[in-house]
Amino acid sequence: MAKVMGTRLQIWTFFVLASACKTPGAENASVESAQHTSGAATALGVEDVPADEAGYIQQLQDLTIDIMKMNQKQIGAPNPVRDVHTKTNGCVNGIFEVDPNLDPSLHTGVFQPGARYPVIIRMSPGAPGIKPDSGVTSRGLAMKLLQVDAVLDQYQVPTEERSWLLPQFAGLQQDFTFLNAEQFIIKDLSRYIIFTKDLANGNPLAAFINPNPFHPIFQPRELKLFIDEVTQKVSNLLGISYFGQLPYKFKDTAFKYRMDPCPSQQPLPTMSSKDPDYLRQAMTETLKDTTVCYAFSIILQKDANIQPIEDSTIAWPSSDKDIAANKPTANRTEVGRITIPPQMISSDAVEQRCERLSFNPWNGLAAHKPLGNMSRARKAVYLAGAANRPSDRGVQTPDEEQLAFLKKYSAYGLAPK
């Protein structure tokens, strides 16, 4: 399937690039309509909720449960499994440390200067089902900051600033979710439903170009974003950049986040992509003796027209190149570092805990509330997903193995320096 899709991708890529050159009007029309979906929301951090949204969210939720059961059948698993991101490349323990010199204007929620949280990170391909790592797919990273209330106690953050988005899971965790591309590939929920169905049927390209005479589809811009994301060559998941893609509340405005390998990081080992689990092997090899470091940065919303909340296919520029070119609104501020010390990633205990984890961008503080239509949909979808498979449903305290790990790395203890 990966091979067939690879060939199809080449053909479609050619077609899309050719059509994008020949029909600039069509490409512009797509960008235009994307920019106007959030026409009403021109103030910073403000959402724009369309009247028909609840119906789309319900459809997505139902579809998710159907696909979980389909995945279960295909894999022969005893229970439903994740709709997408089904395969685990690996779960790792680490420490998130906020910059001790963080500018006071950026102190909010978990971002307290010098705060240290134990984290658990799960890496997964975005595709449904269990496939060889060499297949075309997005690459996901989900990170859970643990012991959040305990750390915020140390900073005497008032309880009124610590309201939790999901009261049933209050107090413990702040989740952050990432993929390997700057922008989300789909512009709204009606399109996301089409994409989810086609992805589950093994033909995601039909969501972007489909000559069906009754419902023709031509979305060259989304298709280009999709191809860029799923064809990125990855030799080691611990060595690439990851992006939150969607906006989140940040005081009176909004932010997006990203994770990049620290500039000081040495090159990481790679394995032959012929092994169906080569990305797991590369992680295992790396973490035998190497400490991996990531910089966690935020991008603030400065202009609601140029950095829309509701259309996440429009990038909020944050690369070195964008910043050097003085692109309007381009910005990126490193607020913390993630350290992943050497460890064993393939023990039974790690595997079992990893499988039961459930991440949800709504699992966290109201100070970092997810914003925009995709985020609003994710709330219901992720909760339904976790409820329909054996999972800890967001409740995750360090188990014995993690506690032993934290003890071993006592230099990274919870207390501020």
Residues contributing to the site for ligand HEM (CB under 6 A)? 60, 64, 82-85, 122, 124, 140-142, 177-179, 184, 192, 244-246, 357-359, 374, 377-378, 381-382, 385-386
Q: Distance between CA atoms of 142 and 378, rounded to whole angstroms?
A: 14
> Distance between CA atoms of 331 and 321, rounded to whole angstroms?
11
Is the Cβ–Cβ distance between 342 and 287 less than 8 Å?
A: yes
Q: How far is the CB of 305 from ligand HEM (least distance, A)?
A: 21
d(C-alpha 217, C-alpha 182), whole Å: 24
Q: How far is the CB of 18 from ligand HEM (least distance, A)?
A: 29
To ligand HEM, the closest distance from the beta carbon of 70 in angstroms equals 13
Residue 190 or 290: the one with the smaller Cβ distance to ligand HEM is: 190
Residue 333 host element (H or E): strand 333-340
Calculated CA dihedral for residues 285, 287, 292, 294, nearest 10 degrees: 90
Least distance between ligand HEM and beta carbon 377 (Å): 4
**CB closer to ligand HEM, 358 vs 402:** 358
CB nearer to ligand HEM: pick between 27 and 48: 48
CB of 182 vs ligand HEM, minimal distance in Å: 10
CA distances from 131 to 12, 134, 139, 201, 385 (A): 22, 8, 13, 14, 20
Nearer to ligand HEM (CB atom), residue 112 or residue 313: 313
Cβ–Cβ under 8 Å, residues 290 and 266 = yes
Residue closer to ligand HEM, measured from CB, 157 or 287: 287
CA-CA distance, 98 to 298, in Å (whole number)? 12
Smallest separation (angstroms) from ligand HEM to the CB of 239: 17
Q: Return d(Cα 297, Cα 242) in angstroms, integer.
A: 11
For ligand HEM, give the closer residue by CB, 164 or 382: 382
What's CA 294's distance to the chain center, in Å? 15
